Amino acid sequence: MPELPEVETVRRGLQDHVVGRTVETVRVLHPRAVRRQPAGPAEFETALGGRSLDSARRRGKYLWLSVGEDALLAHLGMSGQLLVGEPDRPLSPHVRIRFTFADGGPDLRFTDQRTFGHMCMVRDGAELPAPIAHIAPDPFEAAYDPAALALRLRARHTGVKRALLDQSLISGVGNIYADEALWRARLHWARPTETLKGPEVSRLLTAVREVLGEALAVGGTSFDDLYVNVNGESGYFERSLAVYGRENLPCPRCGTPIRRDAFMNRSSYTCPRCQPRPRRPRL
């Protein structure tokens, strides 16, 4: 599933390849891709024709293109991709929406094998689309306030990893980056948030920003001309992972075998020595 660094890579690609261009036609090839559009595919197709795409923005894992006062909002789901390429290339069976441009140049295709992703037009959403207004800023937005976040985090009564994944507290941190940040901050995922000390929270928030920033830097280099890509995996950052997906392999810091625990239908990876389990874990 794409996480913040991958989505940011896509945003930069959109900024480079489609912003400043005027949409000519929009064709919805699968209605599920616009299931959040109130009046359905026809409304989505007509709302954009002849309009210019002004900027590409992001909050957490949501992307939007501002179109005048309105927004074209996208969520990539599990397998969504936004691909830019020559308009005459073959149409793959997983293309859900196709946008052509008035300049006759490269087109934009929303491709989504598993159809969990979606797009919709949001009226007056250019600054912040209403459907995502409840999502907290991510660490790369100007509105992100680590001091306020630290207070809110410690006021919760939950496990620290659950708090990191709570998009109303901080957005853009998925399972992989949560595990990596917790390892760097030497905190166990089940640590109750109300027991975290000030310096532990600062260490954690610094680690979150570092992990996401490093992944972002690597994601940027995999970016190909005319190709706006999300591969649904952790991409090139994979080789830098310390704990995620590394059950029984040695901790890069102390050599202890990494442990995997079940967590919310997924997994949590920790070093049992660097990240001691709390006496009263919140699972």
Q: What is the DSSP letter of 52?
A: B
Quote the longest CA-to-CA distance of the chain: 63
Pick the catalytic residue from 3, 6, 45, 180. Answer: 3
Question: Is 197 an active-site residue?
Answer: no
- Structure token pair of residue 134: 């409840």
Nearer to Zn ion, 176 or 274 (CB): 274
Using CB atoms within 10 Å of the CB of residue 219, give its burial: 0 to 12 exposed, 13 to 18 middle, 19+ buried: buried
Q: Which of 10, 63, 67, 274 binds Zn ion (CB under 5 A)?
A: 274
CB of 33 to Zn ion, least distance (A): 44
For residue 226, CA distances in Å to 17, 48, 208, 247 come to 7, 22, 30, 37
> Cβ of residue 214: shortest distance to Zn ion, in angstroms?
19
Q: In the range 39-78, which residues lie near Zn ion by CB under 5 A?
A: none
271 binding Zn ion? (CB under 5 A): yes
Binding mask 223-262 for Zn ion (x = CB under 5 A): ----------------------------x-xx-x------
281 a catalytic residue: no
Residue span binding Zn ion (CB under 5 A) among the ranges 65-73, 100-108, 200-208, 263-271: 263-271
The count of C-alpha atoms lying within 13 angstroms of the C-alpha of 156, restricted to the half-sphere facing its C-beta, is: 21
Known catalytic membership, residue 161: no
CB 142 within 8 A of CB 104: no
61 is catalytic: yes
Q: Does 277 bind Zn ion (CB under 5 A)?
A: no
Which residue among 32, 89, 123, 266 is the active-site one? 266
**Given 11, 61, 96, 191, which residue is catalytic?**
61
Using the minimum distance from each CB to Zn ion, give the nearer residue, 149 or 181.
Answer: 181
Q: Is 273 in the site for Zn ion (CB under 5 A)?
A: yes
65 or 274: whose CB is closer to Zn ion? 274
Binding site for Zn ion (CB under 5 A): 251, 253-254, 256, 271, 273-274
Active site residues: 2-3, 61, 266
